[in-house]
């Protein structure tokens, strides 16, 4: 039995301003219109024995991920395990292995995949997975090693050893990210593969390896697992015991130390989409080496990538740049220094700037809202509530709200009243009033919300009831 385990965490800070903490890299739409999360789950189901997946992620991303999966592969059964906080890949894999073992037995194999990588050749990927599961069935802790296409300094490497039949090779060593000269030697030797963070192993094999090489992680995760309601969907790992788990990667915790390690080479058009340089490589170039997504006018400009989401971008007389405009933020960077964009996010976080976390459009379990105006004396939003979506029963201490329906039919609760609002109708929500908005229809409800008062922060929400389990 092969069960795909998708790990979805991290903010993708090198892809700011498109990837942000509240809407990170797995939910970016690439040149083909798909998100990385959607393409990953489709790829996972292509090799699974049963139409089921397990995704380990945070509660903040559960609803986004669930909705992406539903659109991409709604016929499958998608299980979720929610971490109260990120503790790196070793605890996540340990918890997933315990869940797979309890559900499918100790000999079931996990296929561990990051949610935010790209694979262009799914057939080659599937062939490699078939070989990896052969080795995993024999107790090998198996990696999919990416055949290098150039001397890359941004990835870790795997040095392969003796052949294990036709399926793969033993692993001699894991190697950290090299300097340029070392990367060139690795590439030219033909003995090294990129470590793409994809693994295949039996549930009992990885748990035994954790018990041997990282017993504190294995024991604490097992304690957390026993304290959690693992029959509930989604599984929410018990916060206090999970917070006590030492954060560590599966590479450091196990793979660099274990005895029976194997690697299956694969050439499948893989990319970790780790920078704007990698994003730009997905697009066709013009005669001057420029790549464009969106609307742009380039004059005397060469080797420049432009992505504009909402408005025209013009560039004159520049070379070798990345220009990304999301409407509320603009990134301009040298292509050669695209990996350093995360420093911008670090600076934004230090100053508590909202652009490090949110876009103007913020996704919620019930739909989304877009901030149209944010001034000292008012805030204006456009709310889109999906069919069946229900906002929490709430009240505000510092602001009143005025709603105007511009699409669909909304059901409103205001204190003890319950009524419908049609297009063009309005309602005033006074400060302190209990209120709730929901969509009882089969098409989106769209609302223009005008807030007035002394404070408009999202923390001025006191939730009394919420069908999505939010506090």
Q: pLDDT-derived band of residue 33, with 50, 70 and 90 as boundaries?
A: confident
pLDDT at res. 5: 98
- CATH topology for 361-465? Jelly Rolls (2.60.120)
Domain ranges of the chain: 2-271, 276-341, 361-465
- Statement: residue 93 has pLDDT above 90: yes
Structural contact between residues 414 and 452, judged by C-beta atoms closer than 8 angstroms = no
Spatial distance between the Cα atoms of 145 and 200, rounded to a whole number of angstroms: 11
Task: State pLDDT tens for residues 377-428.
Answer: 999 999 999 999 999 999 999 999 999 999 999 999 999 999 999 999 999 9
Q: Closest Cα to residue 382, out of 460, 451, 309, 468?
A: 451
Q: Closest Cα to residue 225, out of 81, 57, 110?
A: 81
pLDDT at res. 173: 95
Task: State pLDDT tens for residues 283-314.
Answer: 999 999 999 999 999 999 999 999 998 899 99
Spatial distance between the Cα atoms of 346 and 330, rounded to a whole number of angstroms: 16
- Statement: residue 241 has pLDDT above 90: yes
Q: What is the three-class DSSP state of 244? A: coil
Task: State pLDDT tens for residues 148-189.
Answer: 999 999 899 999 999 999 999 999 999 999 999 999 999 999
pLDDT at res. 309: 84
Its CATH class, for the domain covering 2-271, is alpha beta
Spatial distance between the Cα atoms of 415 and 263, rounded to a whole number of angstroms: 62
Classify residue 43 as exposed, middle or buried by CB count within 10 Å of its CB (0-12, 13-18, 19+): buried
Share of the chain above pLDDT 70, in %: 100
Task: State pLDDT tens for residues 37-57.
Answer: 999 999 999 999 999 999 999
The residue count for the chain: 471
pLDDT at res. 32: 84
Mean pLDDT (whole number) for 229-258: 96
pLDDT at res. 470: 84
pTM to 2 decimals? 0.92
């Amino acid at each position: 039995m092969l069960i795909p385990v998708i790990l979805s965490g991290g903010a993708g800070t090198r892809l700011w301003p498109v990837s942000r903490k509240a809407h990170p890299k797995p939910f970016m739409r690439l040149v083909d219109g798909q998100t990385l999360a959607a393409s990953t789950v489709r790829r996972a189901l292509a090799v699974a024995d049963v139409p089921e997946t397990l995704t380990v992620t945070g509660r903040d991303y559960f609803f986004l991920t669930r909705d992406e999966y539903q659109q991409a592969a709604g016929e499958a059964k998608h299980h979720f395990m929610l971490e109260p906080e990120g503790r790196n890949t070793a605890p996540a894999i340990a918890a997933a292995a315990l869940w797979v073992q309890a559900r499918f037995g100790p000999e079931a194999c996990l296929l561990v995949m990051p949610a935010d990588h790209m694979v262009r050749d799914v057939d080659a990927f599937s062939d490699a997975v078939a070989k990896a599961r052969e080795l995993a069935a024999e107790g090998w802790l198996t990696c999919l090693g990416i055949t290098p296409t150039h001397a890359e300094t941004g990835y870790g490497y795997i040095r392969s050893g003796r052949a294990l039949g036709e399926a793969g090779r033993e692993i001699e060593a894991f190697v950290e990210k090299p300097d340029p000269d070392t990367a060139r030697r690795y590439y030219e030797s033909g003995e090294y593969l990129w470590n793409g963070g994809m693994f295949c192993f039996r549930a009992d094999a990885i748990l035994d390896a954790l018990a041997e090489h990282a017993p504190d992680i294995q024991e604490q995760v097992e304690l957390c697992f026993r304290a959690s309601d693992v029959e509930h969907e989604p599984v929410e790992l018990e916060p206090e015991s999970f917070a006590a788990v030492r954060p560590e990667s599966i590479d450091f915790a196990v793979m660099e130390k274990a005895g029976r390690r194997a690697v299956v080479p694969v050439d499948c058009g893989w990319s970790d989409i780790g920078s704007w340089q990698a994003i730009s490589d997905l697009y066709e170039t013009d005669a001057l080496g420029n790549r464009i997504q969106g609307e742009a006018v380039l004059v005397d400009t060469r080797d420049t990538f432009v992505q504009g989401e909402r408005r025209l971008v013009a560039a004159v007389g520049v070379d070798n740049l990345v220009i990304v405009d999301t409407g509320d933020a603009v990134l301009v960077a040298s292509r050669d220094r695209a990996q350093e964009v995360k420093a911008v996010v670090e600076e934004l976080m230090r100053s508590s700037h909202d652009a490090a976390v949110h876009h103007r459009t913020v996704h919620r379990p019930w739909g989304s809202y877009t901030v149209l105006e944010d001034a000292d004396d008012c805030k204006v939003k456009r709310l889109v509530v999906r069919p069946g979506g229900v906002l929490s029963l709430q009240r505000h201490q510092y602001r009143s709200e005025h709603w105007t329906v511009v699409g669909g039919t909304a059901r409103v609760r205001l204190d003890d009243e319950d009524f419908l609002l049609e297009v063009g109708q309005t309602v005033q929500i006074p400060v302190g009033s209990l209120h709730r908005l929901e969509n009882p229809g089969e098409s989106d409800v769209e609302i223009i919300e005008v807030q007035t008062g002394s404070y408009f922060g999202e923390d001025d929400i006191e939730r009394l009831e919420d069908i999505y389990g939010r506090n």
